[in-house]
Chains A and B, each alone.
Chain A
């Protein structure tokens, strides 16, 4: 039914027109100052930049959902893990932190990992009745050893200059290098989860990823030695110049004057434009790669599996293995987006990783944009992000309009104060409506 309704949706002009509409929205945001738009190019570009990063996240989710039908309910976790990379790779080393406990922490983590490997071996090798005791013994001893190594080291690191540092610090390498590292972090976690939860019922992956997402965020919040927890890590270096440097550069000031812009405004816009170029380039490269992959035999097989898992399995395809591949790749892309986001913010703020915002909002982006279609996912991401941000302004405006006739009082105040919560309702409605009436999204899969 929905297919018939959307029969005209495959027009080749559909995507370009929608992107044009999107561009007009951003132009309006930058140029008109009224109740709807801010009229600030700084604001418009800031929204665009985060929109581009959201598009990368959506691309990753689209690979998992659109290509393979895998429900990742822990996007926020993979994102946060990717966001850890800029901190560990490119912030300046913390004096004394490594000496305080670095090697010991690394050793502890290795012991932890080794324990798990050994436990798996024990489970596989030890026969019969001794199996469970062997497993418990390995895990127990491993855990004690791990804690014995880990706890003092962490205390030492956190005690080291705890007011301004108290964490292990970074390597001081260029920040762009941290992006692929972020992707690797996320991929590693995805491999672990996928190994366990794939090949079982499709819901199990959703539930397992929900769990890993929450745990990763909890780790980031609580392991101060790693991420400073609620104290945040700031001072993440930038791949682009600082506004202040630009403003004190006579060349730049002169060129800004040519355009009739104040140095402060011009520097803000220029920096954001540079970011937009960088993120846009990453996004385009990823889309290109994804499209190439999709057209390759590998991509065709992927889609064949998605469309009929049983038939593909009967034809001898290793469905679980393929699913693991795509799950890892998609998570890597999400991790990359996390690293990009933290770079843009210049700050890792573990408390801000909220599942509603970073898992389910991304989902809505993909579904609205068109699951299975990379351009669609990117479009949906930028559009939904724009609307999400603007809803913060539009929601209260709308509420004020709606509650205008009400007498001033507690109810009206309550409604006005609750306007931000309407965003969740709107988001849920959009998801349900699209899922039901246009399941192929704005830009359907070809």
Chain B
């Protein structure tokens, strides 16, 4: 019985939160890794792309709510998401035209592009603050839980409870669909293969007649769609606050490097590795240890939650030390 309780507690406090957080990171890291693979720089504006996109989604959600349009038990934000993606994509393609294309044509060093992305980050950050403010915003409507702790206890009779929030379930489902669609696209479609070819060997792709500008546009489009989805899911799951999206940049970078920059499959794996490590390290295991018959003195928390970003950092450092190309071999060092 206690063993079951311990398992339920692990599921409730570690596995489910980490899985949905990991899914959000994975979507973000996919965008970073795609941009890295094609445009060959680490996009510092990615976190703010997530924030900007989520802000767009929130505005549209409010609009839809005012019109009385909703999705019943599902959050209205899901309906607003495609529109948010479209608006953000227009903006991001604009930044490519106005900012990045110049350096791409000049074949500038990657670090110059990183710097330019910092400029874009500032502008997007300012715009997001301007549009929606700096306060915390909750925009999840519809049902909150798929099942609650009480439901679970009633069903099972266990003393330990388990709940699943709608936002968590949606995160997992949407991420699974997005990954499935993305990998199908990359592996099956002509355009997707052209993207992979360009990422693999830019010069040879040019010799094969692949239009680099089309590949780049497509990459921004996909990365933006993933980023806005990630940003919206993150906002639904926690809440929307501009600064949090700057902070999530580090775990996202860590995830994409762990998986191997430029390697999409690696980005997904990296997202979950970072998320599970973060949650496992900052979770107080006392309760579970007690179920298992130990009588621990302290909380058995390896690191307080304020330091959760340190986990990403340590993972990052370990990977850089021992395997700089990432677990699944990304682009060369």
A residues bordering B, Cβ < 8 Å? 69, 71, 73, 143, 151, 196-197, 200-204, 206-208, 210-212, 214-215, 218-219, 221-222, 355-356, 360, 363, 367, 418, 421-429, 431-432, 435-436
Contacts A207-B253, A429-B123 given; indicate if A202 touches B110 (C-beta within 8 A).
yes
User: How long is the Cα–Cα vector from A16 to B259 in the complex, in angstroms?
Assistant: 51
C-alpha spacing A73/B118, complex, angstroms: 10
A415 to B304, CA, bound (A): 39
- Per-position 1/0 for B290-333, Cβ under 8 A of A: 00000000100010101101101100110011001000000001
Nearest chain A residue, comparing its CB with the CB of B95: A432
Contact present for A196 and B42 (CB under 8 Å): no
| Residues of A contacting B324 in the complex (Cβ-Cβ under 8 angstroms) | 200-201, 204
Chain A minimum-CB-distance residue to B99: A432
> B114 at interface (Cβ–Cβ under 8 A)?
yes
Give chain A residues whose Cβ lies under 8 Å from the Cβ of B116: 432, 435
Given contacts A203-B110, A211-B312, A218-B310, whether A428 and B320 have CB atoms under 8 Å apart is no
Q: CA–CA, A73 to B253, complex, Å?
A: 13
Complex contacts, A221 vs chain B, CB 8 Å: 306
What is the bound-complex CA distance between A69 and B110, given in angstroms? Answer: 11
Smallest beta-carbon distance B215→chain A, Å:
20
Contact A203 B41 (CB under 8 A): yes
Instruction: List the B residue with the shortest CB-CB distance to A214.
Output: B309
A424:B115 contact, CB within 8 angstroms: no
The secondary-structure label for the interface of chain A is helix
B: number of interface residues (CB 8 Å):
48
Chain A residue with the shortest CB-CB distance to B309:
A214
Q: Which of A200, A204, A363, A425 contacts B123 (CB 8 A)?
A: A425
- The distance from the CB of B262 to the nearest CB of chain A, in whole angstroms, is 11
> Does A207 contact B257, Cβ atoms closer than 8 Å?
yes
Task: Say whether, besides A418-B130, A425-B123, A215 and B112 are in contact (CB < 8 Å).
Answer: no
Which residues 158-213 of B have a CB within 8 angstroms of A?
none
B74 adjacent to chain A (CB < 8 Å): no
Is there contact, CB below 8 Å, between A222 and B42?
Answer: no
B199 smallest CB distance to A (angstroms):
15
The contact of B317 among A196, A202, A218, A355, by CB within 8 Å, is A196
Q: Chain B, 82-120, contact with A by CB distance < 8 Å: what is the 0/1 string? A: 000000000000000001001000000111101110111
Which among A203, A210, A426 has the highest number of chain B CB atoms within 10 Å? Answer: A203
Among B42, B122, B133, which residue has its beta carbon within 8 angstroms of that of A356?
Answer: B122
Task: State the Cβ distance, B62 to closest chain A Cβ, in Å.
Answer: 13
In the complex, A210→B254 CA distance in Å?
11
Query: What residues of B have a CB within 8 angstroms of the CB of A435 in the complex?
Result: 112, 115-116, 119
Q: B130 to A214, Cβ gap below 8 A?
A: no
B136-144, B222-230, B244-252 - the one binding chain A = B244-252
CA distance A86 to B298 in the complex (A): 34
Q: Residue B4 at the A interface, CB < 8 A? A: no
Q: Is the CB of A424 within 8 A of B123?
A: yes
Which residues of chain B come closer than 8 Å to A151, judged between CB atoms?
A: 298
What 1/0 mask marks residues of chain B from 2 to 20 whose CB sits below 8 Å from any chain A CB?
Answer: 0000000000000000000
